[in-house]
Amino acid sequence: MNTSRLRKHWQKLSPPEIDTLQAAQFRHYLRQVVLPFSPHYRRLFGRLGLTADSFRTLADLDRLPFISKADLLPVPGEPDRFKDFIISPKPEALSRSFNVILRAALHGQARVARELADEFRPVSLFFTTGRAAEPLPFLNTNHDLANIHSASRRLMEICGARPDYRMLNAFPFAPHLAFWFTYYAGISYGALTVSSGGGKVMGTEGNLRLIRKLKPEVIIGVPTFIYHLLHQAVQDGVRCENLKRLVLGGEKSSDGMRRKLVELSQELGARDVSVLGTYGFTEAKLAWGECPPPLDQPASGYHLYPDLGIIEIIDPQTGRVLPPGQPGEIVFTPLDARGSVVLRYRTGDYIDGGLTYEPCPYCKRTAPRLVGNISRASEIRELNLAKLKGTLVDFNQLEHILDDAPHVGTWQLELRKAHDDPMELDELILHVQKDPAADERQVSRELADRFHSRTEITPNRILFHDDAEMRRLQGVGVQLKEQKIVDHRPRSDDSPAGRHTAAGTRGATVIAHEMHTS
Ligand SMILES: [Zn+2]
């Protein structure tokens, strides 16, 4: 089986071809890159008695243990565990490699030395995001950046972009994947792109000036910030008739938020806007996107690149790999990464529609897709102990309720202790910026009903704010990412938060939802 032919046709492979391609590439990758040069995996495979040939089909992946962020975090005595996962060939090992000796004989030593440096020497670094754990550095080599270049080009194709589109990259400027993946997307696709750095760098005003000047066809960024930006644009009477795509990343994008963004785009004079989601994370060095659905049809799901990585969906409790279409936790294995490399990486992200190998109903690509809503496990885990009237709270669910609520623009959920007393009960305060035409008491009543009917809890208070105050509360233009959920419970070793949760130990910690793309 010719894997380079299969790679070339990654968009239209059948499920058996995908299995063959991925298993063959995984063996090749283990043999050539991971096992010779990854300290962690060399030891692990030795201990388990595994070799590259132990993986004949994808089902054999089950023989390899999962890894999660906790395995990379510092522990006493081992402050730099992440370094154990960096592909780092020793010069002696390379000089003994048959492949390298052959290449040097054919192409000359100087050229091979240059190629090896491009392949293996780290040249860039992104940090992991997510609040459940400290950020970790993930190293990339030029080989990784070349893969980001080609994957970001694929993402543009999937989103139905055109090279003559102008793009506003409004992701926060940071050493995070989302910003840089988008930067590379513009370059690889040959589309004029302005990277504003989001609200913190240029403010809402600066981004609005760019919209006026650039008249972009594509705006890409974090949904909450894009919402603020378009809302302000409408208030200021800005027109942006060219707008064709709003591409979202960095946090979940609910149907309600997408609907509001379409409405705002229409007020800017844009008639035919598709709101598309992306999903990616630093550890994958990749992001995947949706293709534009026909009007009023559900999202397509995230189109994967089967030649660049393997996605598995597992039961988070048992670790069992689930069949297509089953909801579960997303696990990622790269097939061509250098720099920092983790295999069978548990993302902590849950997808409610699972993985599908059915052709996309809209673009007909047969690449596998992740379908449905993605939510962070930590939304439930971290706040499991935050009892509100004795009820466990799933903040993923609260976000959906609020995003889908009519007359609600932006919102923030604030956790407090009654009277700021650590011994007191927890309080949930909902801050809302509503449609100015809607009646406060009615919106309040409707929100309380929605909460009560779906969660058995209601906020202790619902407070209404104008746009400016809401921007201040969410930290638009101040925080790297807008704060949708904040924990203002006082720090105390006696409080449940202080005792059990990562959020609590850091005091007034932002726990706004984020999906590690940014
Ligand atoms: Zn599609």
Residue 208 tokens, joined = 């609005």
- Ligand 1 centroid vs 296 CA: distance in angstroms? 15
Strands (E), 49-178: 67-68, 122-127, 137-141, 167-169
Alpha-carbon torsion (511, 513, 515, 518), positive or negative: negative
- Ligand 1 centroid vs 295 CA: distance in angstroms? 14
Among the listed ranges 58-62, 213-217, 387-391, 444-448, which one has the minimum average pLDDT value?
A: 387-391
Number of alpha carbons in the 13 Å side-chain half-sphere of residue 165: 24
- Ligand 1 centroid vs 12 CA: distance in angstroms? 11
Residue 166: other Cβ atoms inside 10 A? 17
Residue 323: other Cβ atoms inside 10 A? 9
Per the DSSP assignment, residues forming a β-bridge with 391 are: 388
pLDDT digits 0-9 by tens, 298-348: 999 999 999 999 999 999 999 999 999 999 999 999 999 999 999 999 999
pLDDT digits 0-9 by tens, 172-209: 999 999 999 999 999 999 999 999 999 989 999 999 99
Question: CA geometry: angle at 224 spanning 218 and 225, to 5°?
Answer: 60
- Ligand 1 centroid vs 274 CA: distance in angstroms? 13
Question: CA geometry: angle at 155 spanning 132 and 130, to 5°?
Answer: 5
- Ligand 1 centroid vs 323 CA: distance in angstroms? 21
- Ligand 1 centroid vs 217 CA: distance in angstroms? 20
Residue 8: other Cβ atoms inside 10 A? 10
CB 455 within 8 A of CB 393: yes
CB 369 within 8 A of CB 355: yes
Alpha-carbon torsion (167, 170, 174, 179), positive or negative: negative
- Ligand 1 centroid vs 368 CA: distance in angstroms? 10
* Confidence tier at 517 by pLDDT (50, 70, 90): very low
Mean pLDDT of the residues in the chain: 88
- Ligand 1 centroid vs 54 CA: distance in angstroms? 34
Q: What is the pLDDT of residue 132?
A: 57
pLDDT digits 0-9 by tens, 53-96: 999 999 999 999 999 998 999 889 998 999 999 999 887 777 77
Q: DSSP state, 327?
A: -
Helix spans in 292-421 (H): 378-381, 395-404
- Ligand 1 centroid vs 96 CA: distance in angstroms? 46
Per the DSSP assignment, residues forming a β-bridge with 310 are: 333
- Ligand 1 centroid vs 292 CA: distance in angstroms? 7
- Ligand 1 centroid vs 158 CA: distance in angstroms? 7
- Ligand 1 centroid vs 488 CA: distance in angstroms? 42
- Ligand 1 centroid vs 242 CA: distance in angstroms? 23
pLDDT digits 0-9 by tens, 431-485: 999 988 999 999 999 999 998 888 877 888 999 999 999 999 999 888 877 888 8
pLDDT digits 0-9 by tens, 279-311: 999 999 999 999 999 988 999 999 999 999 999
- Ligand 1 centroid vs 297 CA: distance in angstroms? 12
